[in-house]
Structure 1
Amino acid sequence: MISGLLFSISWIFIAFGLIGIYRFKNMYARLLVSSKIDTVAFITIIFALIFEAGLSPISIRLIIILIFILLTGPVSSHIITRSAYLNGIPLKDDDEI
């Protein structure tokens, strides 16, 4: 029951994130939204899988994966954004007000 609810919530996060990716025109805003999809939707999916697995060795592995993604996700988003900035992609598009 709880796992099904968490899976549904994760799909809602993914749907709103996809709308945000198509709505924003700036590359940096799109990177921000995509990193939020990664983090928030992934956390809810992992928690749903933990509730589905119960107290087992699989849930411990899922917690280790969750910690790994929580540590590396923001770092990878930062590296991509910094690389884009250093390669000269402007912070603000010309067609924006």
Structure 2
Amino acid sequence: MIYKLLLILSWIYITFGIIGILRFSDIYSRLLTSSKIDTAALITIFLALIIKCGFSTISVKLFLILLFMIITGPVTNHVIARSAYLNGIELKKEGKK
């Protein structure tokens, strides 16, 4: 029962993330929104899977995958943002579209 609630919560995170990505105009705001929602949804989905499996070798493997994704997710988003900055993509001004 708890794992179903966590899966529903992850879909809510993903839905609000999609709305946030479509709402923001520049690449940096979209990247920030996608990385936050990606991490939040990933954690809730993996916790739901770990609860569903119970304590077993599968849950240990899921936990290790979760740790790997928590570490590598922000690093990849940083690399994308840095390459956008180094290639000259600027922030969009408030009044301009």
Give 4+ residue runs of structure 1 displaced > 6 Å after superposition: none
Residue 95 in 1 paired to residue 96 in 2? yes
TM-score by length of 2: 0.95
5 Å matches for 1:38-53?
A: 38-53=38-53
Give 1:9 shift.
Answer: 0.2
How many aligned positions are there? 96
TM-score by length of 1: 0.95
Alpha-carbon distance in structure 1 between the residues aligned to 2:89 and 2:75: 19
- Gaps of at least 5 residues in structure 2 are none
Give 1:37 shift.
Answer: 1.8
Alpha-carbon distance in structure 1 between the residues aligned to 2:82 and 2:92: 15
Residue 77 in 1 paired to residue 96 in 2? no
In 2, are the aligned partners of 1:85 and 1:91 still within 8 Å (CA)?
Answer: no
1:35 counterpart residue number: 35
Identity rate, percent = 58
- Gaps of at least 5 residues in structure 1 are none
1:66 counterpart residue number: 66
Query: Secondary structure, in 3 states, of the residue corresponding to 1:91?
Result: coil
* Cα deviation 1:8-62 (Å, max 9, x = unaligned): 0000000000000000011100000111121000000000000000011000000
